[in-house]
Amino acid sequence: MTGRTGPAAFRSDGRGRAGVLLAVLLAAILPALLLTATGARAESPGAADPKPLVTLSEKQAGKGGEITVKGKGWRPDTLLMMLICGQSTPGRGVIGGTNSCSNADGRAVTTDKKGAFTKKLPVAEPPVPCPCVVHVATVTGEQALADTVFVVAGHPVAALPKQTGDGKLAVLAATRLEGDSGILTWFGAPPSRRLVFTVGNLGSAPVKDPVFQVGTAHGVYATQWEERQWRGTVEPGRKARVELPVELTAGAHGDYQISLKYGTKVLAEQPWGVGRPWGVTLFWILLCLVVPAAVFRIGMAIVDKVRPRPAHAAGRRGQRPSPRTGVTVRFPKLRRSPAPDAGPAPATGPSTTTAALPWFTPDSAPSEHRPTTKGHS
């Protein structure tokens, strides 16, 4: 039996080698393709951003009790706020905002690297009737929230307000900031203003006591949102003037951006330039001048106290100086008047002046012309 030779044999051998090479390449590339597909599924939006979930250890508890709140599916390392809110359901949310929650008994918690948390929450009665929920929401960054039904034992229960239609608010005029800063702001007090704007109801139902969100942003930091409720009702097709307080932190200065949001829609933005509190700078400058001066004075007093004294003052170191030291008393000078019958004094030598003593009078003073007991002059 003879083997094949020539072009046919060459083509057969080449096809075999190509098949072997293709099988080796597939064996090497297939694991890499599988890993890529697995990574793509792990990075899908549904896996990276799951819906936040909250579970409770008990569905019902009375005032003064305590429940354990567990959550998962949140962003990692995110600060959350947990509250018990009344007049709320998971479907409609918290009606009235955080004004319907027991804010004084809320708790803050930070999620771990996997977006989960476990925290104990004291049971408190909200300021409005139930139905109640445990409301968990993010404090900073992108807003995310979750509500879970909870029953506060012994707390009143009332029906939720009926929804008769859809109310829709829109800003009709430009927003503005009103108010002035006082003298305390110059020394670091929190700057405050009033955000004034006009809204109109474009829907078919009245909007009663709407809850707005006022956000403040500074530099590259994320916007910090705070809820502000306006008391009043905006009828369909009507407009209303709304004023909401805005307050920054103590010592704030620079360029800030004030945002207004209703629901999930940002209605307006307003810049706010806050001046530097120069009073604080002046205080530190004065402090830097006064403190060294006081230290210098204290140091000089200590040096004066411990320095060596002269020899003549060493014995008097323990004595107090007399208050009369250095005081000189000057008595008035008395001049002696010449006798009326006396002639000029003989010039026997250089003139001498005798000071008259104060206890002698000119008439009683002894004279050289008066006789004495021993004889006549």
pLDDT in tens, 280-337: 888 888 889 888 889 999 999 998 888 887 766 555 555 555 555 555 556 566 566 5
**Residue 7: exposed, middle, or buried by beta-carbon count in 10 A (0-12, 13-18, 19+)?**
exposed
* DSSP 8-state symbol, 135: E
* Euclidean distance between the first and the last CA atom of the chain, given in angstroms as a whole number: 197
> What is the DSSP-derived secondary structure letter of residue 315?
T
> What is the arithmetic mean of pLDDT over 106-131?
93
Q: Average pLDDT over the chain, rounded to whole? A: 77
Q: Determine the average pLDDT of the residues in 83-88.
A: 92
Tokens of 371: 């006789």
pLDDT in tens, 219-240: 877 788 888 889 888 888 888 9
Other CB atoms within 10 A of residue 321 CB: 8
Six token digits for residue 148 = 């879970």
Task: Report the relative pairing of strands 145-153 and 60-62 from DSSP bridges.
Answer: parallel
DSSP bridge pairs for 207: 234
Q: Which two tokens stand for residue 90?
A: 């998971």
Question: Greater confidence, 44 or 197?
Answer: 197
Confidence of residue 355 (pLDDT cuts 50, 70, 90): low
Query: What's the pLDDT tens digit per position in 173-192?
Result: 888 899 887 788 888 888 99
Residue of 218, 63, 44 lying closest to 130 (CA atoms): 63
pTM of the predicted structure, to 2 decimals: 0.48
The tokens describing 313, both together, are 């003052």
Q: Write the burial class of residue 350 (CB in 10 Å: 0-12 exposed, 13-18 middle, 19+ buried).
A: exposed
The confidence score (pLDDT) of residue 363 equals 60
Q: Are 38 and 131 in contact (CB under 8 A)?
A: no
Q: Alpha-carbon distance 372 to 304, whole Å? A: 67
Do the Cβ atoms of 66 and 50 come closer than 8 Å? no
> Residue 163 carries which DSSP code?
-
CA distance linking residue 204 with residue 200, whole number of Å: 12
Q: How many residues does the chain have?
A: 377
For 70, phi then psi, to 5°, come to -120, 145
CA distances in angstroms from 239 to 168, 201, 230, 281, listed in the order given: 11, 6, 14, 45
Two tokens at 41? 């599924």
pLDDT at 84: 94
pLDDT tens digit string along 245-296? 999 988 888 899 999 988 778 888 889 988 888 888 888 888 898 888 899 9
Query: 243 near 194, Cβ under 8 Å?
Result: yes
- Of 53-67, 78-92, 206-220, 322-336, the poorest mean pLDDT is in 322-336
Opening angle at CA 135, ends 131 and 139, nearest 5: 155
**Alpha-carbon distance 220 to 224, whole Å?**
12
- Nearest residue to 152 (alpha-carbon basis) of 130, 121, 135: 130
Report d(CA 236, CA 199) in Å as an integer: 11
pLDDT given at position 2: 45
- The mean pLDDT of 59-75, rounded to a whole number, is 92
Which pLDDT value is given to residue 40? 42
- CA 260/CA 177 separation, integer angstroms: 12
**The pLDDT value given to residue 94:** 84
Q: Which two tokens stand for residue 350?
A: 């250089």
Q: Does residue 45 carry a pLDDT above 50? A: no
Contact 277, 185 (CB under 8 A): yes
State the SS3 of 203-250. CCCCEECCEEEEEEEECCCCCEEEEEECCCEECCCCEEEEEEEEECCC
Token pair 């008395």 is at which residue? 334
